Amino acid sequence: MSYYKLIIAYSGTAYHGWQQQKDAVSVAGMLQARFKKTFGHDITLVGASRTDAGVHAMGQVAVFKTEITIEPTIMMRAWNGCLPPDILIRSLDFAPEIFHPQRNVLEKTYYYHIFTQRPLPWFAPYGLYYYRPLDNQKLHDALQVFAGTHDFRSFCTGDDMECTIRTVNSLTFSYMKRYSMYRIIVKGPGFLRYMIRRMVGAAINVASTDIPVEKVTEVLEQKHPLHTLPTAPAHGLMLRKIIYTMDTHE
């Protein structure tokens, strides 16, 4: 039995998230189906992050076991050769069985992209077009409300996990003039479902209206997911990379 680790990039536009689903096309489901078509064996991929429908990735990490043993570069070339153009295996190698993609995570990095002008059609699926001007200072201050360790029950689905305490290492942003685009960078060891999208949505809303930054703090402290601050759409979010305590990669 061989144990492999792979790093995958994908556009989430055509998929119902990472996790395999019975009645919908998912990224993991597509990878598994094309593996069987190429090598004649079933596999089950275990991924690091269960990205939602429409969310993209440059650095999703996954592992699988198989009864066959194939040199990783040969396997990757053949597997990539039968994948659709919106999924790419960036690296593939043997891994020790003690490695699990959901354990010993030092830091995950996510990007959220916001276009300030209507983007070209081939960029549009990878960022939110937001026509209202953003106040940079308010955007910064609203994002910093989430830095550190907090109970994020107000900024997730609210019912997906018993413990909703998480640590956000940093939230920063830059304006990329060439693309008329903001890039918000969120880093932390782990996030709840919808957490990043709800944080970003709240910060954008505050930065583009007369709603005070204190409103974000108030909602965070209420620890209740039912509030009026919006959730940012999925297509602006991308899993950039995952760093492990004993392993790093780009």
* Active site (catalytic) residues: 52
What are the residues facing 200 on neighbouring strands? Answer: none
> Of 52, 43, 44, whose CA–CA distance to 10 is shortest?
52
> Of 108, 120, 91, whose CA–CA distance to 180 is shortest?
120
Using an 8 Å Cβ cutoff, are 15 and 27 in contact? yes
> Looking at residue 134, what DSSP letter applies?
-
Rg from Cα positions in the chain: 19
> Of 141, 139, 137, 147, whose CA–CA distance to 187 is shortest?
147
First to last CA, the chain: 27
Q: And the tokens for 123?
A: 């960029």
Q: And the tokens for 179?
A: 């693309």
What are the residues facing 174 on neighbouring strands? Answer: 183
> Looking at residue 13, what DSSP letter applies?
T
Using an 8 Å Cβ cutoff, are 189 and 153 in contact? no
